[in-house]
């Protein structure tokens, strides 16, 4: 699985003009299931993200986790994280998990993150979404498990 984390002061996702998910201080997480991903990967990714020390402590150093700050998460499915741009000018997405497997991995990840005590909202898998966020820092980190 791949995830792109953006530390935010707030984020929202809309589908057809309707707000379907949001978070306050915390993380907006773009997540993609990949070919060959196993059922243990969503929980491993969620655990890693929940403990990743990317929030500032009182001294201004990135030394606190999402759990430490009591932050929330907005999780968005993003198959384009699987883009292969090694040939030509059109990205290929054959490394992404097939839709049914991708949806299952996405749902399992969001459930695992919420199960760790992190308030979690989601986008809509496969939908054309409009995502807005206020990047804090900016801090943007790519993770793979």
Give all domains of the chain, ordered by start, each with its CATH number: 2-127 (3.50.80.10)
> What is the predicted pLDDT for the residue at 55?
98
* Residue from 3, 128, 2 nearest 74 by CA: 3
- Which tens digit of pLDDT belongs to each residue from 53-105? 999 999 999 999 999 999 999 999 999 999 999 999 999 999 999 999 999 99
Q: What is the spatial distance between Cα 142 and Cα 140, in angstroms, rounded to a whole number?
A: 7
Annotated catalytic residue, options 35, 80, 93, 140 = 80
Mean pLDDT of 113-142: 97
Annotated catalytic residue, options 6, 12, 55, 79 = 79
Indicate the pLDDT class of residue 28, thresholds 50, 70 and 90.
very high
Question: Is 78 annotated as catalytic?
Answer: yes
Mean pLDDT of 26-40: 97
> What is the predicted pLDDT for the residue at 13?
98
Take residue 117 and report the two structure tokens written for it.
């005590």
């Amino acid at each position: 699985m791949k995830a792109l984390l953006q530390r935010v002061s707030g984020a929202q996702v809309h589908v057809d003009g309707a707000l379907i998910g949001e978070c306050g201080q915390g993380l907006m997480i773009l997540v993609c299931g990949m070919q060959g991903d196993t059922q243990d990967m969503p929980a491993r990714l969620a655990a890693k993200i929940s403990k990743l020390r990317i929030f500032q402590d009182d001294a201004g150093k990135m030394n606190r986790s999402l759990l430490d700050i009591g932050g929330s998460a907005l999780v968005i499915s993003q198959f384009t994280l699987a883009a292969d741009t090694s040939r030509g000018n059109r990205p290929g997405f054959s490394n992404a998990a097939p839709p049914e497997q991708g949806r299952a991995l996405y749902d399992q990840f969001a459930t695992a993150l919420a199960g760790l005590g992190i308030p979690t909202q989601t986008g809509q898998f496969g939908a054309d979404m409009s995502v807005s966020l206020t990047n804090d820092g900016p801090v943007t980190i790519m993770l793979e498990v």
